[in-house]
Structure 1
């Protein structure tokens, strides 16, 4: 279940209470008249079944609560309440299949911002990938995959496109368009310093039989893996099964391809650099297309295909 808190003008509080009382998925409703200080008004709280959250939030947004006050949602790990159990049983659908769309937009929006933290993680991931390529270490490559933060903007781009949130789509696209070139440039600088210091030479990537050659080898499986990973990642983000995201991070070669491109460029292997960049592009496009398709199917299944999400 989720804990819902609505801060609203006192004049709107009766309608908020009525909305919660009438919905079978809400339980343990609490009203604090005059408790809100800024903005002044009432506070209404309730435990809400996950599969009922979207309908209730839409109803509260129709009362303009998201503009005149606030609507907040928090995940509840444990609820000991017969009324809460009854609300979960009465709410239509299954909790694990329910999508809290406003929460999804908020989550992907936060993870899609181009900021110092995002750039730092992406750069460190690319540097780790470069080390894995130079030392022919698949384990280090996997570590780089896990560290990479790129799935956040990719998911944000898919959500922005499907939910008609141009602000989110532009923010995510900017993070990807600026983040990867910056990370590749820093990685190339690091590779140049390492090469100048004699830590490695062209033999690190030349020839055949390297365990990490899969990073730059482009083929049908590149797109297949990207599509499957994008679908799994979006299913994970839109359900309660977030643990699957780790597997998504490990399955795609976005960050390793960026790291390989930087190393190959420094060593003058333009063919492998081009293949690595193609691998990067195929993975990015495949993930976004698959994630967007999953979202379209889930919105169509919920009858929300024509409803743009409100802006926070």
Structure 2
């Protein structure tokens, strides 16, 4: 429930109160003696979704847009006509005036924004190098990226170019600063003993996860943008949703910076692509949701122009996402193909072992050195097979070549097979009687 306080200009008191009576709203009127332009102040309770339509009616009754209007969130309202108001305004979304105020509050001062963003990047970069998911999530609590992401969309919807420009600027400059911070930090750490010499960051799971972006990453960004918009529209869980938005942006930005620091252009490009795709997805989902929710500019006459601007902006962002999604699609397809190849290879070799039924011989493991980049470049898959053989049994000399020929024919592509042998011992499954322990007699002194 909201408590609205409005100053009534001179000569409009009767029209304003008649409007509230017509709306069935309980109100209280106080004489205004502080300024000469207003004759009274009226305050009344109304559900959150009713603030905007009631204020539109009051503006038509004579309330000027430059008059003071205060909207307060209330804990409890006792009124005989409260249930009727709730039935009349059943929606949950807030008014455009309240949305505008919240968007302004979410975009902090530049010094505060960049301080928290850089601290978040430092913590996230440390978490990536430590392979600590908890540290990375903890860093997201500090990141202030929800404000600019939401305020840019709110500014577009409500026709405030200044808010839109600032929101876009903070997002772009902030993420570039995050990449640069991670790059500098990664370079500095290489000059210390905190990182082992020759560390390949591509082997760290938390980093590898963000160097192979696929369509699931796009769903994360779209969901984060929608959740952020809903949390602002309904005033719940905005802090936790801000963490989700930061998770979609800061870790891949830090990954891109580490790729620059370690001289790995593939890591840097993959992280940067993921950042850009997620950034665009968050903005387009927030912009679309605010538009679908029915928010309109504060100036009703600007609605048509803003509508055309919103449609064009959504189309441009959607086209950009579609183009960048080619990369995501390629990674998704190649990852599926390489993993399917390894699984099929393991199944094929296990089937051959089962059919051969050689006593004592065991297929220990089958792995494939076959990455998505190998598929794109046309490199041959390398299959590593480890076989356990008893000591007294002869090892087939041409096993690797035979499997090479079979797998090449099966998958219609050249395959390199490497077979390793280990000596195995297998128990007969029977429990033998344990020998008694020899106990030395005690010696007393």
TM-score of the two chains, using structure 1 as the length reference: 0.85
Identify the residue that residue 122 of structure 1 maps to in structure 2.
117
Greater shift in the superposed pair: 175-184 or 221-230:
175-184
- Between the two structures, name the one with larger relative contact order (CA 8 Å, sep ≥ 6): 1
The Cα shift of 1:244 comes to 6.4
> C-alpha offsets along residues 49-87 of structure 1, whole Å, 9 cap, x if unaligned?
2221110222334435331x2111111122233333442
8 Å Cα contact 2:144/2:242 also seen in 1? no
Query: Partners in 2 of 1:175 and 1:10 — Cα distance?
Result: 43
Query: Partners in 1 of 2:55 and 2:209 — Cα distance?
Result: 46
8 Å Cα contact 2:202/2:208 also seen in 1? no
The Cα shift of 1:285 comes to 0.4
The Cα shift of 1:160 comes to 2.3
Identify the residue that residue 174 of structure 2 maps to in structure 1.
179
Identify the residue that residue 58 of structure 2 maps to in structure 1.
60
Greater shift in the superposed pair: 279-288 or 228-237:
228-237
Query: Partners in 2 of 1:203 and 1:229 — Cα distance?
Result: 36
Identify the residue that residue 249 of structure 1 maps to in structure 2.
243
Query: Partners in 1 of 2:148 and 2:4 — Cα distance?
Result: 27
1:48 matched to 2:46? yes
Identify the residue that residue 229 of structure 1 maps to in structure 2.
224
Which residue among 288, 297, 313 is the counterpart of 1:308?
A: 297
Q: 1:54 to 1:201 in 2, by over 3 A?
A: farther
Unaligned segments of structure 2, at least 5 residues: 301-445
1:19 matched to 2:16? no
1:268 matched to 2:263? yes
1:153 matched to 2:148? yes
Query: Partners in 1 of 2:198 and 2:80 — Cα distance?
Result: 67
The Cα shift of 1:109 comes to 2.6
Greater shift in the superposed pair: 231-240 or 208-217:
208-217
SS of the equivalent of 2:81 reads helix
1:105 matched to 2:100? yes
1:135 matched to 2:130? yes
Which residue among 68, 71, 74 is the counterpart of 2:72?
A: 74
> C-alpha offsets along residues 119-149 of structure 1, whole Å, 9 cap, x if unaligned?
1121111111111111111111111222211
Matches of residues 21-36 of structure 1 in structure 2 within 5 Å? 21-24=21-24, 26-27=25-26, 29-36=27-34
Unaligned segments of structure 1, at least 5 residues: none
RMSD over equivalenced CA pairs, Å? 2.5
SS of the equivalent of 2:71 reads strand
8 Å Cα contact 1:132/1:138 also seen in 2? yes
8 Å Cα contact 2:120/2:142 also seen in 1? yes
> C-alpha offsets along residues 164-202 of structure 1, whole Å, 9 cap, x if unaligned?
332221121121122222333334333333332332257
The Cα shift of 1:40 comes to 5.3
Q: 1:12 to 1:132 in 2, by over 3 A?
A: same
SS of the equivalent of 1:253 reads helix
8 Å Cα contact 2:4/2:45 also seen in 1? yes
